[in-house]
Amino acid sequence: MESSLPITVAAINRSTQLKAFDETKTGVKGLVDAGIAEIPSIFRAPPATLTSPKPPSSSEFTIPTIDLKGGGTRRSLVEKIGDAAEKWGFFQVINHGIPMDVLEKKKEGIREFHEQDTQVKKGFYSRDPASKVVYSSNFDLFSSPAANWRDTLGCYTAPDPPRPEDLPAACGEMMIEYSKEVMKLGKLLFELLSEALGLNTSHLKDMDCTNSLLLLGHYYPPCPQPDLTLGLTKHFDNSFLTILLQDHIGGLQVLHDQYWVDVPPVPGALVVNVGDLLQFKSVEHRVLANVAGPRISVACFFSSYLMANPRVYGPIKDILSEQNPPKYRDTTITEYAKFYRSKGFDGTSGLLYLKI
């Protein structure tokens, strides 16, 4: 069994490095601040995950942008949203009602949190899923094949918003204000999506799709070797719906017809994507590492994810038919989330085991 020895040594070495990195409690930003010129091996992505066949440049490969106050009829808006959710699972919205200065302040707050005094930041570093407010680097650090060039501040803002005194001073107030705005927009989107499915306007809301909101403030530091790692490995979201605010740096890509299609930054726009739990079409997406950053993004997930939730979810009975049979078996979000979290971003879908 001599030949297996080097592999074992490499595995031990990797595990030691992961632990050492985690114990710094300063994330990827800490490595960049220390002036590293080469990325540590734990961040090296398998080369196959870094390839990106470019799409033939045509309007067929442009993700849709939808004007929520475009002046057309409700019916035409419902059709546009339904079409984008079904064909792409991803679209941008403009005139969404969230004021520009709220978006700017939100991004600025997340940047301030990540760039503040290290000692204060360390106080929030945790991997305890029960913590209300968590700052960490790579939620799946110890289970994924490669770590990502990204740090994250996360917090559930609904149904029970944290107490202001538990939130970081740099961005706490903004977290609460921003999530209220996102909740309003989310309610509208779930209404439009319900109508697009031919259901009652409140159908998805009545299924508790808007009960809980998880907010993640991502910070993607500039990377000295952006061709060797990723900001965020390809994945499906563990939500019904995600509303994402990205800054001007770019790097977010969506897998569409085998091509990685850029989601270009549009000032004032928000990116909306369907998650595993809604399955209009849940789409894989990833973020490239950047040299020009930091890149800041704020992802808000409508899902109860890590919270106890006994409700059983399955195919919506009203729209099943012989031509449209169920594709997945019933599950609870708790069951699904446990599986999603334990496997980390390993390139596979969290829904495979639910397929009928």
Scan residues 205-224 and list those touching ligand OGA (CB under 6 A).
Answer: 216, 218
174 makes contact, choosing from ligand OGA, Ni ion, none, with CB < 5 to 8 Å by partner type, with: none
Q: Least CB distance from residue 77 to ligand OGA, whole Å? A: 25
Binding track over 57-96 against ligand OGA, x by CB under 6 A: ----------------------------------------
CB of 271 vs ligand OGA, minimal distance in Å: 8
Type of residue found at 207: M
Contact of residue 212 among ligand OGA, Ni ion, none (CB under 5-8 Å per partner type): none
SS3 labels along the chain: CHHHHHHHHHHHHHHHHHHHHHHHCCHHHHHHHCCCCCCCHHHCCCHHHCCCCCCCCCHHHCCCEEECCCCCCHHHHHHHHHHHHHHCCEEEEECCCCCHHHHHHHHHHHHHHHHCCHHHHHCCECCCCCCCEEEECCCCCCCCCCCCCCEEEEEEEECCCCCHHHCCCCCHHHHHHHHHHHHHHHHHHHHHHHHHCCCCCCHHHHCCCCCCEEEEEEEECCCCCCCCCEEEEEECCCCCEEEEEECCCCCEEEEECCEEEECCCCCCCEEEEECCCCCCCCCCEEEECCCCCCEEEEEEEECCCCCCCCCEECCCHHHCCCCCCCCECCEEHHHHHHHHHHHCCCCCCCCHHHEC
Binding string, residues 118-157; x marks residues near ligand OGA by CB under 6 A: ----------------------------------------
78 vs 251, beta carbon nearer ligand OGA: 251
241 forms part of the interface with ligand OGA (CB under 6 A): no
Residue 13, number of CB atoms within 10 A of its CB: 12
Answer for the pair 151, 114: CB distance below 8 angstroms, yes or no: yes
* Residues from 276 through 305 that contact ligand OGA (CB under 6 A): 285, 287, 297, 299
Partner from ligand OGA, Ni ion, none binding residue 106, C-beta < 5-8 Å depending on class: none
Should residue 246 be labelled a site residue for ligand OGA when binding is judged by CB under 6 A?
yes
Q: Which of 235, 289, 285, 233 is nearest to 256 (CA)?
A: 285
**Interface residue with Ni ion, options 237, 272, 289, 350 (CB under 5 A):** 237
> In this complex, which beta carbon is closest to ligand OGA, that of residue 45 or of residue 216?
216
Tell me the residue number closest to ligand OGA, measured at CB.
297
The least CB distance from residue 299 to ligand OGA, in Å, is 4
Residue 140 touching Ni ion (CB under 5 A): no
Answer with the entry of Ni ion, ligand OGA, none that 26 interacts with (C-beta below 5 to 8 A by kind).
none
Which of these ranges, 55-63, 121-129, 244-252, 309-317, lies near ligand OGA under the rule CB under 6 A?
A: 244-252
Binding-site ranges for Ni ion (CB under 5 A) = 237
Binding-site ranges for ligand OGA (CB under 6 A) = 216, 218, 232, 237, 244, 246, 252, 285, 287, 297, 299
